[in-house]
Structure formats: C-alpha cells, structure tokens
Structure 1
C-alpha cells in the first residue's frame, strides 16, 4: 500500500514518541517497530527517521545517549523525556479527535477501497 508523504509526516512525531514511550531504542529498532506496528505497510528509512530524531532532541522531547550493541558497536539510544511525554499526551488527544471524526465519516459513507479490519 502506498502511504502519502503528508500523512506519514503528520503522524511521524506522534508515532516515534509513542514507540519510545515503551522504552529506549536505537534508530534501527524504531524503524523495525514502525514496520511491525503497521504490518509492513509503513516503510521508514534512516534518511527519514534521523532528521526527525534530531529535531525531537532539539525540542527537548528526546534524549540520546551512546551505548554498545550486543556486537560491541557504538550506537545511539533514544529515550523520551518528561517534556516529550507531555507532547505525546497532547498529540494523542489530537489524534483521537481525528480518528473519531474519520470513524464517523466512514460509518455513514460507502467504502471505496478495502479497509483493514479493526482500524481506527
């Protein structure tokens, strides 16, 4: 499935903050988790993720620290800050409103494409 760039961009911050709300991860693990959560429909790459992580770090939403992988290579781990948790809570409320409005609109219209069961 092709996902529009605008939709991915609009949801990226909330998705990353939500993923890191479950625990610290390095970039590749975040990319992998996005794929898992979307059943492979969202395919992020490093060129999309790392600028976002750096921006969220500058905003004070994330904190990065260096650690070692199991193979002994250095890599950055990202964790959500208290400020990031506040931003996540605010964004969750906003997305809940959007999801509810979409759900209501779709319940009253005939679907034009196949939808995944359980979405929204």
Structure 2
C-alpha cells in the first residue's frame, strides 16, 4: 500500500474493525484475513491485535474465550452497546468528512 493510504488508514482502522464487529463476532486473525481479502493487503496481524486490546480496554467490545482445536482459546470480540454508540459517532464523522472532501475536490476541478 502506498504510504499516503497507510497513513489515512491509521485514522480509520478502528472504525473499520468496529464496523466488521457490528456485523458479526470475530477473532483477530479472522478480522485480519477479511481485511486482506478486501484489499488491505499490508495490514499486519499485530496491528489488529493491538487495536483489539485498545478497544477492549475502552469497553467498546465484549470478549469471549472460545476453545480452539489448534492451541489456546481464541478471544472472540463482539460489539457491545458502547461500541455501537461509538461506531454511530464514527459514521457521522465519516459522513461529515467525506462530504467536505468531495466538496473540496469538486471546487478544485
């Protein structure tokens, strides 16, 4: 990924992960795999795991340990009420920013 996209992604990755969890519960590797399938090929697992720790500490997700056939139990994350509220705020902010950016782009043509 080009450096500019990587920098822009840093500011939105939390919202992206919360949006994924709004659709279904998932564990870290699952989230990373899905993001890579969607074209975010340079996202490291460590980045996602660190983000999951942060959103767990902030109380935006619930965590359940689920047994795994291939080692220790997996931490499965699901969005809770606080996370949904935060995600709603993220989408409102995203809408505001995208509208303003599109306006600037049109004015610059």
TM-score (norm 2): 0.85
Map of 1:1-120 to 2, 5 A cutoff?
1-4=1-4, 5-37=6-38, 40-69=39-68, 71=69, 73=71, 74-110=73-109
Tell me the number of residue pairs that the alignment of Structure 1 and Structure 2 aligns: 107
Contiguous gaps of at least 5 residues in structure 1: 111-120
Seen in structure 2, the aligned counterparts of structure 1 residues 3 and 80 have a Cα distance that, compared at 3 Å, is farther
- Between Structure 1 and Structure 2, which shows a larger proportion of helix residues? 2
Unaligned 5+ residue runs, structure 2?
Answer: none
| Structure whose residues are more often strand by fraction | 2
Once residues 31 and 6 of structure 1 are traced to their aligned partners in structure 2, the CA distance between those partners, rounded to angstroms, is 18
- When the two chains are superposed, the root-mean-square deviation of aligned CA atoms in Å is 1.8
Give the Cα–Cα distance (whole angstroms) in 2 for the partners of residues 21 and 57 of structure 1: 14
